[in-house]
Chain A
Amino acid sequence: DAMVIQNPRYQVTQFGKPVTLSCSQTLNHNVMYWYQQKSSQAPKLLFHYYDKDFNNEADTPDNFQSRRPNTSFCFLDIRSPGLGDAAMYLCATSGRLAGGETQYFGPGTRLLVL
């Protein structure tokens, strides 16, 4: 089945220690998104890629970076995680970069910062 895969499902890191979360997709979608979701809140868009074009949301901290080496994979790098970065990180994809396109989400990676 075509899907969005995120690894690992749970990640524990130390305060200030860089961490990378990964996302892959078999949907062959052009657009990949990263969201941050804190407890009892709605997902918040961090950035998205359209092919290799990167689009950062205005309020995304510099601490968050992303890489997309090919169509299938996208990585979220947190350079110096703080306690406030503990959250669920969701990856999503859509077929086109257009208003109203359905986004399909992966299972998420829950990040714990000690």
Chain B
Amino acid sequence: AQKVTQAQTEISVVEKEDVTLDCVYETRDTTYYLFWYKQPPSGELVFLIRRNSFDEQNEISGRYSWNFQKSTSSFNFTITASQVVDSAVYFCALSPRTGTASKLTFGTGTRLQVTL
């Protein structure tokens, strides 16, 4: 069985602060994919990143960075110099590499509130 845990239910920061959203996962699969999605108040789930379990390189995209550590089964997401537009619910998700369907197991989400 697969499981994704996002222990932080809600985080509040002041604009320009750095913030890290935690994601811990459980799977018996040796190969799998991890995802982060952003859900702003409008409701659309916006794809941010997909990471293959074989690729443990950290990734940076502008103010966003991701730290994948297979040894601790974590895939954490950091926003540097947060902005009000970053306010949203962020979901971490896991999908097995094998199988005939892209079944996503979502965490419960972390609500990020960025204030001025």
Contact = CB atoms under 8 A, between A and B. Distances in A.
Interface of A: 31, 40-43, 45, 48, 50, 55, 88, 90, 92, 94, 96-108, 110
A107 B43 contact: yes
Given A31-B102, A42-B109, A99 B95 contact: yes
A102 B35 CA distance: 8
B106 A100 contact: no
Nearest to A33: B102
A94 B43 contact: no
Contact of A99 (B43, B45, B98, B108): B98
Contacts of A99: 32-33, 95-103
Contact of A90 (B45, B52, B97, B99): B45
Given A45-B104, A98-B102, A88 B97 contact: no
Contact of B100 (A41, A42, A92, A97): A97
B42 A100 contact: no
A43 B95 CA distance: 14
Contacts of B43: 88, 90, 107-108, 110
Nearest to B52: A100
A101 B32 CA distance: 10
